[in-house]
Structure formats: structure tokens, C-alpha cells
Structure 1
């Protein structure tokens, strides 16, 4: 996820607006949606990632 945000994100916080659902993103990344959900939750808990609707960004 960090690589996706850094390589595809925009601005100083590497913001990515997802064009589809998290399930679509998981499929595109070759992951199950459960693994993606757990990964996102862990990164949010660690303070690495912020998620707001369809927008993902690195935390400050």
C-alpha cells in the first residue's frame, strides 16, 4: 500500500482517489479483499495511512 501511494499518489501526502471499490483495488493488486481490509486497518492504526471515503493518503 505504501508503494501504491508513493508511486501513484498526488501531492505531498501521496493522495490516491480510488476509481472503484476496495474490492476492485484488492482484485487489481492480486489480493483478497480481507487481506486488503486488514492491511488498511493496520496502517491506519499505526498512523501511516488516512482513509476518507474513496481517498487514501499518507498521514502527516
Structure 2
């Protein structure tokens, strides 16, 4: 199991601590690490969508 956390990806900034965001980011990183063909650009796209949802929905 991966030990990746939000702190492992400092370029994805969320001002407040948020368990939902941590879970979504962990899931995206886990998928990235699990899929050998998954590139950094795909991970960046997933993170962008997560952060966009956070901003729009204020999770």
C-alpha cells in the first residue's frame, strides 16, 4: 500500500486541511501509482479536476 500523502505533492495546494480532499488526492495518486502506463500529465489532470471540484463545491 502506498504511503503517499498530500505533502508528497506540494504543487497541489489546498489552504485548509480537509479529510475529503486528502482522500481524493490519495485516490488519484494511488491510481497513478497502480497504473504503470499512467503518466504525470494524467495525474496532473486528475489533480486539476479534484482541486477544481474543491474550489467550486467548497468540499
TM-score between both structures, scaled by the size of structure 2 = 0.35
Higher helix fraction (1 or 2):
2
More strand by share: 1
TM-score for the superposition, normalised by structure 1: 0.34
